[in-house]
A and B are shown apart, each in its own frame.
Chain A
Amino acid sequence: MRIFRACRDLGIETVAVYSDADRTSPHVAAADYAVRLGPAPARESYLSIPALLEAARRTGASLVHPGYGFLAENASFARACVEAGLTVVGPTADAIAAMGSKTGSRRLMQAAGVPVVPGTGGPARDASELARFGREAGYPILLKASAGGGGKGMRRVDSEKELEAALARVSSEAAASFGDGAVYAEKLIERPRHIEVQVVGDAHGNLVAVGERECSIQRRHQKVVEECPSPVVDAALRSRLFEAALAAARAVSYTSCGTVEFLLGKDGSFHFLEMNTRLQVEHPVTEEVWGIDLAAVMIRIALGEPIPFSAGSLSPRGHAIECRVYAEDPRRGFAPSPGVVAALRLPQGPGVRHDVGIEAGSVVPIDYDPMLGKLVVHGADRASSIARLARALSDYEIAGVETTLPLFRALAADTDFRDAAFDVQWLDRRLEGGWLSPDAETRDDLLLAAVGLAEAETEPPRVGRDGAPASLWRSTARREALRGEP
């Protein structure tokens, strides 16, 4: 939808692709053309490169936008599109591949002078090499299994005394779990913040940094809330971050919109984490503050135009916050909550933007990422932006499925959040403490319930002007009937 809107602005016709689970999704109804890719499982639809190329061929499309997920950072897809004579709205396959490798990109960044987290770089030969690294980098350090991933095979070491025992444990765990006992070490950055820089490059060699985003509000390494600008980045730090981000993008001759992610330590030092070679979910906060349309810029660059602005021609204005609204129950460990959206009312008014992919009556399928939409607020400064967030969240109704809205309501009222005193583990610590309790019913709720029940019991079902059932219970019955359930 976001991409379609940019296309409409530019006068470009759009083609939606869909799986069987998404035939009735808003993005299909919004498109000029639509092509079925295959059955619901992503592997047979959204991840099927042949099906996507065939969809482009059938509709005569010349541009392909890889979106945010699925194949957005897949170098083979980018290559296959180019070979099929299509223009990809995104970076080159080479840039995707170079940034896609953890060890490769690390070496590339070191060579480009971008600070990376100090580490042994590769598997350590023995304990003495790790001890030398520990003395150089300073404790605490993190021992990691070379073949590990996803948080497995990691151990924190706080002093040289602990090193030998820790190494033995990680190494034997790694040998048992991954069949490879190789271990490397990295300096542990304690309670870091996640700061990322939006970069835009074109085929003419221009490269511009368009502000940073603060994405430290995360749950288990997944971003939940993002802001622009970061409340802790001052002008001096910002110019150092921009410089590093541009060096990173330059190292892969980056020619699209992309994001360079950093971990910011408490001492103000920062280190390269990774580069996302796509338009990110959180791009709207940058758009609101910098007054640009990144999706449209990406398309124009893909068509060979130069970046329509320069570093000096833009001036940021105010502060923006984005909340990712998911169909998950934040009070039950963020369990997915598929179902039918029985009611949807979006808050409106100054400084409120929605990128929403559902409508009242939409079915939230279990097949894909359960993001319902994004709420983006913009205000003159961070405090007024939070006030607008609280206002918007007091008038945002989604019924029928559980959502993460209660989490955002708690966040908007939280002192640490308001003071910007958080790091990437802050939200996990908050949630562990049983932060979100069920909303207690109020006397007002009881009054509404009383009238609702009394009306249902005493009034015969009325038919509204347009023939629609006017009774609450009747319209519920009708919805149930439309769902094809008894």
Chain B
Amino acid sequence: MRHVRFIHRGAAGPEDVVIGIDGARCVITVGGQDEEGEAVRLPDGRLSLVFDGGRQLCGRVRPGKDGDVEISTGSGVRRIALAEPLRDRLAHLGGGAAPGGEDEEVRALMPGRVVEVAVAAGDEVEAGALLLVLEAMKMQNEIRATRAGRVVRVEVEAGKPVDGGAPLVVLGTGS
């Protein structure tokens, strides 16, 4: 099971949200409380969650303004504010959960345009080193290495658009 963590900027202050996901299975921990269930994507792009107790939720999750996430359901459109804007989190992509010894794909979370590529295949990088700059939602985001390693492949070119989810750089273990 892979885990993703983010901080929700709630009305009552920031709260930690951790999602463990393994295929359709998911465990969501909010405010220390676990909810377990199954998530599927419907043909029209909406997400449907069925929790183990039987409760069902359905809605569309879209990137909103200012890096927020927009939830759109039959009863309205609402915004979820994240303490770390998405641009900060772009740097964490693929990080943390990737087990050592494997190549790590750094991918774009949001569609955007590559402004600058700071590394080339074969380069050795330290954790935190700048890999590339991605412009998404009118902001330039520095994508940094989450660990030390060697650049196996650069999948993009400066000036070219990228889709959300597209691989940017493949980072291998250091030599």
- Which residues of A are interface residues toward B (Cβ below 8 A)? 342-343, 345, 347, 393-399, 405-406, 409, 439-458, 460-461, 469-478, 480-481, 486
Q: How far is the CA of A51 from the CA of B2 in the complex (A)?
A: 63
Cα of A449 to Cα of B70 in the assembled complex, Å: 8
User: CA of A450 to CA of B71 in the docked complex: distance in angstroms?
Assistant: 11
> A453-B19, A486-B161 in contact; A445/B71 too (CB < 8 A)?
yes
Residue of B6, B10, B19 with highest tally of chain A CB at under 10 A: B19
Bound-complex Cα distance A449 to B71 (A) = 7
Instruction: For residue B133, give the distance in angstroms from its CB to the closest CB of chain A.
Output: 15
| Chain B residues near A474 (CB-CB < 8 A) | 111, 163-165
* A460-B78 in contact (CB<8A): no
Q: CA of A202 to CA of B59 in the docked complex: distance in angstroms?
A: 50
Question: Are A447 and B164 closer than 8 Å at their CB atoms?
Answer: no
**Contact of A345 with B109 in the complex, beta carbons under 8 Å:** no
Question: When the two chains form the complex, which single residue of A405, A441, A451 contacts B47, counting CB atoms closer than 8 Å?
Answer: A451
Using A399-B77, A451-B28 as known contacts, say yes or no to A480 and B4 having CB atoms under 8 A apart: no
For chains A and B in complex, what number of residue pairs have CB atoms within 8 angstroms?
A: 149
The total of chain B residues at the interface (CB under 8 A) is: 50
Question: Interface on B for A, CB 8 Å cutoff?
Answer: 2, 4, 6, 8, 10-11, 17, 19, 21, 26, 28, 30, 35, 39, 41, 44-45, 47, 49, 57, 59-63, 69-80, 93-94, 97, 107, 109-111, 113, 161, 163-166
The interface residues of chain B lying within 8 Å CB-to-CB of A395 are 74-75
Q: Is the CB of B19 within 8 A of A475?
A: no
Which of B30, B76, B93, B166 is the one whose CB lies under 8 Å from A450?
Answer: B30
Structural contact, A447 and B28, CB atoms closer than 8 A: yes
A residues less than 8 Å from B75 (CB atoms)? 393-395, 409
Q: When the two chains form their complex, are residues B74 and A461 in contact, meaning their CB atoms are under 8 A apart? A: no
Known contacts A461-B166, A472-B45, A473-B110: does B74 contact A454 (CB below 8 Å)? no
B78 touches A442 (CB 8 A): yes
Question: Assuming A399-B77, A405-B76, is B69 touching A460 (CB within 8 A)?
Answer: no
The answer to whether A451 and B164 have CB atoms under 8 Å apart is no
Q: B residues within 8 A CB of A397?
A: 60, 72-74
A395 to B75, CA, bound (A): 6
Evaluate contact between B74 and A475: CB separation under 8 angstroms.
Answer: no
- Asked if A453 and B39 sit within 8 Å, CB to CB, the answer is no
A406 to B161, CA, bound (A): 36
Expressed in whole angstroms, the Cα–Cα distance for A366 and B39 within the complex equals 38
Q: Which of B26, B30, B45, B71 contacts A441 (CB 8 A)?
A: B71
Q: Tell me, rounded to whole Å, the shortest Cβ–Cβ distance linking B18 to chain A.
A: 8
Q: Which residues of B contact A475 (CB under 8 A)?
A: 45
Contact at A445–B78, with CB atoms within 8 Å?
yes
